[in-house]
Amino acid sequence: MVKYSIFSLARNALSRHENWPEAWRSPEPKSEYDVIIIGAGGHGLATAYYLAKEHGVTNVAVIEKGYLGGGNTGRNTTIVRSNYYLEPNAHFYEKSLQLWEGLSQDLNYNVMLSQRGVLNLAHAPSEVDSFHRRGNAMRLNGIDAEFMTRDQIAQMVPLLNMSMEARYPILGGLIQRRGGIARHDAVAWGFARAADARGVDIIQNCPVTGIRREGGRVTGVDTARGFIKAKKVGIAVAGHSSHVAAMAGLRLPIESHVLQALVSEPIKPCLDTVVTSGAVHFYVSQSDKGELVMGGDLDGYNSYAQRGNLPIIQHVVAALLALFPCFSRLRMMRTWGGIMDMSMDGSPIIAKTPIGGLYINTGWCYGGFKATPGSGWVFAHTIARDEPHKLNAEFTLERFAEGKTWDEKGMGPTPNAH
């Protein structure tokens, strides 16, 4: 692997950038691996990278049905944060955020992390109270959180409609200044390149069609390129987890739903914070290219379609204009949808399964992107040691049967409400 640096950049400039090597190989699959990860999205690639880096397990393949990072890794709205209330979520996402903070150096790949702050707006006195409560819980868990008054918000985000006559007047907000955004494609590419450099085989355009088991243990996977033996198999296919887990006879506490996002035409820098509002079901940030990137809630019905419908888009745009009337003349450039594994309590599942050597990483709801490094880090630990790390010990498949759900919003087993 050529180390990316100012020197390699200068050296390659002399040859008009025509001699850069490929960032990763496209190898033929071997007949057997110690570990196969199904799904070359951010989570799968991060898992492979940390298996090699932290656990010395390098005989690893990541098998992908399409192209690398072509699923939810490239469909999210790139927000990174750890502003959770419940302890298992708080500690897990904080570990992930800490990994984010060193990720560009660690991978030798610029993931363009921009810690511009994530601001949650409060529109009612009860919401102000609950933000104080969550902020206090975060600080007790060692995570940065700061309550902002109306005046502070008006000063920091001058484009917001701060009128008390607004349909949802802004009464205050909770900000996590270490939160922000990152470049999502770069995360997949950076993990792929770094994992490949440590010997991991990334096999693209190779759908897994079956998971073979013998005597309660996994023995390998059937793929479009034939059977590949494996001692251990990890599933990291968020959106399609139920479908892939069914290949091993498993049924999951998961429903698949579509979440849409959209971007405006690019404009000059005007919004340097991620602004979210739970009350109007909306969040927005400005990308480095100048587009406003925004989204809202799920469409609400089961879907594997990777595209949604107009009512949610209208809702998101209406919410944008309620908060930022000055954007009323912006044209929207494109919309898209990604398929979310909605779990029954809104928290992820990163765990062993009842089948020996088979592990699953699912239930990301719409929080998967920020979890990418942390998820890979604990999933690699779970696979290498055959036991969870303490950071994911609570995120089991069995927690639903045991009554130990982690329901951040208190919605109960209604996946489309988390």
Partner 1 sequence: MLLIDCPWCGTRDQREFTYGGDAAVKRPADPAAVSDKEWHDYVYIRVNPRGSHVELWHHNAGCRRWFKLRRDVVTHEMQGSAPIGSELEPPLPIAGRPGKP
Place of tokens 């719409």: 366
Cα(373)–Cα(93) distance, integer angstroms:
9
Cβ 388 vs Cβ 378: under 8 Å = yes
Give CA separation, 210 vs 158, 242, 244, in Å: 54, 13, 8
Position among 8, 288, 301, 333 found at the interface with partner 1 (CB under 8 A): 301
Q: Minimum Å distance from CB 416 to partner 1? A: 7
Position among 3, 16, 17, 251 found at the interface with partner 1 (CB under 8 A): 251
202 scored as a contact of partner 1 (CB under 8 A): no
Q: Minimum Å distance from CB 239 to partner 1? A: 10
Q: Which of residues 318-357 bind partner 1 (CB under 8 A)?
A: 344
Q: Is 142 exposed, middle or buried (CB count within 10 Å of its CB: 0-12, 13-18, 19+)?
A: exposed
Cα(248)–Cα(219) distance, integer angstroms:
11
Between 216 and 245, how does the x/- string for binding to partner 1 read (CB under 8 A)? ------------------------x-xx--
Give CA separation, 116 vs 76, 90, 156, 327, in Å: 18, 20, 11, 20
414 scored as a contact of partner 1 (CB under 8 A): yes
71 scored as a contact of partner 1 (CB under 8 A): no
Using the contact rule CB under 8 A, the part of the chain among 103-111, 191-199, 307-315, 327-335 near partner 1 is 307-315
At residue 342, φ and ψ (nearest 5 deg) are -85, 115
Give CA separation, 187 vs 41, 228, 382, 411, in Å: 9, 27, 22, 32
Toward partner 1, which CB reaches closer, 240 or 370? 240
Toward partner 1, which CB reaches closer, 29 or 300? 300
Toward partner 1, which CB reaches closer, 18 or 402? 402
Position among 309, 318, 321, 396 found at the interface with partner 1 (CB under 8 A): 309
Cβ 157 vs Cβ 163: under 8 Å = no
Q: Which of residues 253-272 bind partner 1 (CB under 8 A)?
A: 253-256
Position among 304, 354, 386, 390 found at the interface with partner 1 (CB under 8 A): 304
Toward partner 1, which CB reaches closer, 35 or 262? 262
Cβ 239 vs Cβ 304: under 8 Å = yes
Size of the site for partner 1 (CB under 8 A): 25
Cα(148)–Cα(175) distance, integer angstroms:
7
Position among 310, 333, 386, 404 found at the interface with partner 1 (CB under 8 A): 310
At residue 273, φ and ψ (nearest 5 deg) are -140, 150
Q: Which residues bind partner 1 (CB under 8 A)?
A: 240, 242-243, 251-256, 300-305, 309-311, 344, 400-401, 413-416
